[in-house]
Structure formats: structure tokens, C-alpha cells
Amino acid sequence: MAKITLDALAHSYSKKPSGPGDYALKPMQHEWADGSAYALLGPSGCGKSTLLNIISGLLRPSEGRVLFGETDVTDLPTAQRNIAQVFQFPVVYDTMTVYDNLAFPLRNAGRDAGYVDARVKAIADMIGLTHRLPRKARGLGADEKQKISLGRGMVREDVNAILFDEPLTVIDPHMKWELRTQLKTLHRDFGHTMIYVTHDQTEAQTLTEQVVVMHDGEVVQMGPPVELFERPAHTFVGYFIGSPGMNVLPARVAGHVAHLGGVEIALSRRYAPAEGVEIGVRPEFVTLSEGGAGLPVKVLRVEDVGRHKIVRAEHEGRPVNAVVSEDAPIPAMADRMSFAPEAVNVYAGGWIVDGESAS
């Protein structure tokens, strides 16, 4: 087990990258703590799998270094990195039994039969495949095969890290919850460094204490879920995390006030005067009123999603949403929205602007 350092790491699939657009991964500098669990969250094509494959050594980064602890592993082949990885689609050794599949990494590592047997049985129990152990892996269903892949990833105890590349995509929802819980337990019990790639924000937030949001080849924010929720470092994080995503509106800020057209929005921090910036506020911190102060909006519809209602509205053609608790009344002629000042963030060029705290 080791801390993972990504030192000035970047990757381009083209031989001579001419601009940022040629990079699948833009230069990054990160240190991932030993024994922590990280979720790599982002839409398809944002570079999360590329990053994962670089860590496991399936791909050599075109720039920078990867370090496990203090050892530079950039040029070390995968097999020597002692790392486990589970892929999105099941990879099983068809001609082997389920038992042999699970035992394979241990046998390759030269473990003795007694240890292998104990370990395989423990893992089979964890993934619920004990009754399948003696049969051939060929002919099993996709989700059982994926469980074998998961099991093979978890069977070695001494790995530097376990990498998961959207491993629960083919698993049915009921089993997903169970396996997610198992993964959490596994992480708690053994303290492996875990990196879990997903595009499902719920999965990312429930599974790990640190979520790494990637967008267009860069890490836009890394932090605990609550931080991603309250202070998205980039408008993309605001949009990608949360349902519905953060409201983003063009504005002009000066001091404690943001100006949207003629409307003034109070801010909890002080900002240097700036034009052409954006303010972002989560729908959860929006209240609706009829007349009075606030941002004039046109309510389009109200969606009842169970525990709360989503009010879809627009301000000068831009969508603005509010989340209202189920029992809170919505004014019939609601046409104003006001924002909780401490929940309003200011963004310039997509990135958050740090204001001075009110004093």
C-alpha cells in the first residue's frame, strides 16, 4: 500500500500535441493519500479511464511521472506495480472454474494452496458466488461474471491500490447496493487505496470520502462531497453534481452585490469589481415569492419528485431552478426568486473566485 503521486502528469494520444485540445489529460499535480478511497467522477470521455490506466501502467503517460510512495513507477510494467484493477465489462477466464478464476492472481503471485483456498472462499462469500465455485466461468450471466472480475480485483491483500473502472455498470440495481456496501466494508477493513471511476454522482458520493471531479482532461475539483455541493470550484462541478445542477447566471459583481441586469443580488463575501462573470447558486438555496424583491422569473413547471419539488423557471431565457421541500407551499403566482447570500458563488471563466469574507 502506498501513497500515489501524479507528478506533472499529462497524456496525449497524438505524438506531437500542438495545443491543450490534443491532450486527453492536461498537466496535473496530485497526491493521493495512502489508504484513502477516491471516486473519479466525470462524464464519458473526460479522461478518467485514461488516468486510471496510467496509474495501473496499462498506458504510459506522455509527460510526467507516477510515484507509488517514493518509488517512480512510470516505466514499470503493470505486473510489477502490484495493483488490482476491475474493468467496466467482465473479463473472466472462460475455461477456468470460478474458483480458479478467483485463485489466479494469488497463484501467479506464488501463494501457497492453503492461503489461496482460504482467501478464495472468503471472497466468494463476499460476492455471493460460493455456490458457483466449482463450475466453469463460461456460460455464467454478465453480472455473475462481473462479480468474478470484482472478486479477482479484491483477492490480493497486499496490492498498492485497487482501481475500479465503472465496475457496477452491468450489475442489476439491487445487487449494486449490496456490492457497494461490500466495497465500503472491504475498504474499511483492509485500508487499501481505492480509486473508483464512475459517472454516477450518487455512487461517487456514497462510496468514498473524496470525490475527484474531472472535466475535459483535467481535475476540476477534489474534495469531500459536501464541499463539492456547497462550493463547486468550477461551474462544471456545480452543473454535474446535484440534481438539478447549479443555476449559473451571467452577472457583474462589485463589493457585496452582484448585478443581473437591473436586479441586485446580495453576496456574503466581498469581491473586487468585475464584469462578465457568473454567479452560481444551487436550487436548494433558492426561494420563491410573489412580487417583491428578487430575480424576476417565469415559472415553467413544477415537478414533484417525491421528497421535494423542482420548480423549473427561466430568467430572460436562461433556466433557473428551485428545489422546494414537499410540504412548503409554492405561491400560485410566483414570479420572483431570491438566493441565500452565503450560497451564492462567483465564477470567472468557469472557475470560482474567492471573495473576502464579510468583516
Partner 1 sequence: MNKTVNQRAWFMVLPVLLLVAFSAVLPLMTVVNYSMQDTFGNNVFFWAGLEWFEDALRSERLQNAFGRQLMFSGIILAIEVPLGVFVALNMPKKGVWSSLVLVLMALPLLIPWNVVGTIWQIFGRVDIGLLGHAVAAMGIDYNYTQDVTSAWVTIIVMDVWHWTSLVALLAYAGLRSIPEAYYQAAKIDQASRWAVFRFIELPKMMGVLLIAILLRFMDSFMIYTEPFVVTGGGPGNATTLLSIDLVKMATGQFDLGPAAAFSLIYFLVILLMSWVFYTVMTNLDKRDAK
Closest CB 30 distance from partner 1, rounded Å: 22
152 touches partner 1 by CB under 8 A: yes
Helix (H) or strand (E) holding 296: strand 295-296
Closest CB 94 distance from partner 1, rounded Å: 6
Q: In angstroms, what CA-CA distances link 295 with 188, 260, 309, 322?
A: 47, 8, 20, 12
Output the nine-digit C-alpha cell for 143: 453480472
Q: What is the x/- site pattern for partner 1, positions 70-99, by CB under 8 A?
A: -------xxx--xxxx-x-x-x-xxxx---
Alpha-carbon distance of 26 to 24, in angstroms, equals 7
CB 84 within 8 A of CB 156: yes
Q: Kindly indicate which of the ranges 29-37, 49-57, 189-197, 343-351 contains the residues binding partner 1, using the contact rule CB under 8 A.
A: 49-57
Closest CB 167 distance from partner 1, rounded Å: 12
| 5, 36, 49, 56: residue in contact with partner 1 (rule CB under 8 A) | 56
Helix (H) or strand (E) holding 195: strand 193-198
Alpha-carbon distance of 266 to 317, in angstroms, equals 22
199 exposure class (CB count in 10 Å sphere: 0-12, 13-18, 19+):
middle
Rule CB under 8 A: which of 161-190 touch partner 1?
Answer: none
| 65, 136, 252, 308: residue in contact with partner 1 (rule CB under 8 A) | 136
The site for partner 1, by CB under 8 A, has a size of 29
| 42, 105, 167, 245: residue in contact with partner 1 (rule CB under 8 A) | 105
CB under 8 Å to 35, separation ≥6 — which residues? 1, 191, 192, 193
Rule CB under 8 A: which of 287-346 touch partner 1?
Answer: none
For 155-180, b/e burial (b = at least 16 CB within 10 A) is bbeebbbbbbbbbbebbeeebbeebb
Closest CB 55 distance from partner 1, rounded Å: 11
Closest CB 163 distance from partner 1, rounded Å: 9
Closest CB 59 distance from partner 1, rounded Å: 10
Q: What is the binding site for partner 1 (CB under 8 A)? A: 53, 56-58, 77-79, 82-85, 87, 89, 91, 93-96, 104-105, 108-109, 135-136, 138-139, 149, 152-153
